[in-house]
Structure 1
Amino acid sequence: MTSAKRPIRIGLQLQPQHADYATIRRTASEAEDLGVDIVYNWDHFFPLYGEPDGLHFECWTMLGAWAESTSRVEIGALVTCNSYRNPELLADMARTVDHISDGRLILGIGSGWFERDYTEYGYEFGTAGGRLDDLAEALPRIESRLGKLNPAPTRKIPVLIGGGGEKKTLRMVAKHADIWHGFGDPDVVRRKVGILDQHCADVGRDPAEIERSVGVSGKPDELGQQLLDLGVTQFTVGVGGPDYDLGLLREWLAWRDRTNS
């Protein structure tokens, strides 16, 4: 398992909904001051929870702003929707934010799922399988464009793929990702990482090369060690506006510090 080799990292998914931007910016800075390792947003055009027409902001322009307003944390989308941007454009955007942030970007990506985003912004929703096929086609194009850009990225930008689809998504993780992000209780995660390990064996990749990340909504004393025993080393707490309560995040940070020491 990777838990013996990787330090525990704590992420915050700062959901860009139901808050003004000044509050979002202030919360990102507060999370950095608290010692969080990564601050993520998400790539949607409308709130996912609460008032469906509430306040909401776009993902990648926000990441460019965070690249300037933070100085230590890694930043990224959890996750970018592959459907919304041409793969070559996305690669160029990622390279640009990588430079603005002095090498702190994580390129999180997934196939997309929120139908309202598609219908109101004029994208074809299609089928889940078709969107996964599009992602499989886009990932090599992103990698190719990152290799052609001038200037090149400041580092090999880590690619995070989000999702738990056992036949397609986890195979893409085995082939392309530096980080896998999933959701679920320890029993679900145990199944997913077992399948991911098999996909890695099938494509000839060491599964220890892939950081395992899980979104958590429970307490670290209940979940932390169970997930750590499965090789999960990145734990992400999600918070929504307007108030962005960081209480649970503080608990996970304290657990990280005790466990890493």
Structure 2
Amino acid sequence: MTDTTRPIRIGLQLQPQHADYRTIRETASAAEDLGVDIIFNWDHFYPLYGDPDGKHFECWTMLGAWAESTSRVEIGALVTCNSYRNPELLADMARTVDHISDGRLILGIGSGWFEKDYDEYGYEFGTAGGRLDDLAEALPRIESRLGKLNPAPTRKIPVLIGGGGEKKTLKLVAKHADIWHGFGDPETVERKVGILKQHCADVGRDAGEIEISTGVQGEPDELGPKLRGLGVSLFTVGVGGPDYDLGLLKKWISWRDAQNG
């Protein structure tokens, strides 16, 4: 059975590129005032769109600032690159931001893919398979360190794993994630949800425990019902600088409110 009972949530990926930080902070506050559920950034060192050497800010220091400058929304990275930080350090950073935010952090993580980040900052890029193997090793270490820290996190920090790899990534989702974030049209999402359910069955986990998230670019009245029917409950709109247009986000928030009643 596909779970369509979870309340619909709306996320904003506030891409930290081509903008002054003041604008980023003001946009986060505006999105919170609009009623968005989660505000994400991303974990890169250079813009992904537009001028490749344009303005850009670092992910986790920004999350610490958002923990203070927001009060209601959940916050997180969509997603943290596992390659850039020791797993124990990342767990400690997450625990700290969890406390600063009074329990509003989502720990989004993935294996990494943007080669320029690696080359410019001195990380070994390796292969996609090798980076996924590194993520598989890191996740238990993160979980272990979170269990040892004093003080402990304020709650069981939700783990979001981003990526659509059907053999390795979705298997990691089945083992470790509270939220799976994917991309693609409804047909793609449907296929990957089916594969995720099989991975969950293989490890003896109830697939209904995992919230299904996807990035959206289209109109909610057309796209929303199709994805909702596949079990998606978290819909995330991405916006980039220098001027962050929240028009599409407003439409998705209105659609959420109508659907949730």
- The TM-score, its normalising length taken from structure 1, stands at 0.99
In structure 2, what residue type is equivalent to 1:59?
C
| Aligned match of 2:16 | 16
What amino acid does structure 2 have at the position aligned with 1:87?
P
The aligned counterpart of 1:106 is 106
The one-letter amino acid of 2:3's match is T
Aligned CA RMSD, in angstroms, stands at 0.3
Q: Any gaps of 5 or more consecutive residues in structure 2?
A: none
Size of the alignment, in residue pairs? 260
Tell me how far apart the structure 2 counterparts of residues 221 and 254 of structure 1 sit (CA, whole Å): 10
Alignment of 1:198 onto 2:190: no
**Contact between 1:110 and 1:135, CA under 8 Å: does it hold in 2?**
yes
What percent identity do the matched residue pairs reach? 85
Alpha-carbon distance in structure 1 between the residues aligned to 2:173 and 2:132: 12
Asked whether 1:152 is paired with 2:152, we answer yes
Task: Give 1:2's aligned residue.
Answer: 3
Distance in 2 of aligned mates of 1:259 and 1:253: 10
2:82 aligned residue:
82
Other-structure match for 1:41: 41
Aligned amino acid, residue 251 of structure 2? E
Unmatched runs of 5 consecutive residues or more in structure 1: none
Contact 1:2/1:211 (<8 A) preserved: no
Aligned partners of 1:38, 1:3: CA distance in 2, in Å?
20
Q: In structure 2, the residue corresponding to 1:93 is in which secondary structure?
A: helix
In structure 2, C-alpha distance between the alignment counterparts of 1:222 and 1:174, rounded to whole Å: 29
Whether 1:121 aligns to 2:84 is no
Alignment of 1:55-74 (within 5 A): 55-74=55-74
Aligned-pair CA distance for 1:222: 1.2
Secondary structure in 2 matching 1:138: helix
Query: SS in structure 1 opposite 2:4?
Result: helix
The equivalent of 1:53 in structure 2 is: 53
CA distance in 2, matches of 1:194, 1:251: 29
- 1:182 aligns with 182
Q: CA deviation at 1:2?
A: 1.9
Scaled by the length of structure 2, what TM-score is found?
A: 0.99
Structure 2 residue matching 1:3: 3-state secondary structure = coil
Asked if the contact 1:45–1:117 (Cα under 8 Å) also holds between the matched residues in 2, the reply is yes
Give the 3-state SS of the residue equivalent to 2:242 in structure 1.
Answer: coil
Deviations 1:217-241 (A, max 9, x none): 0010111000000000000000000
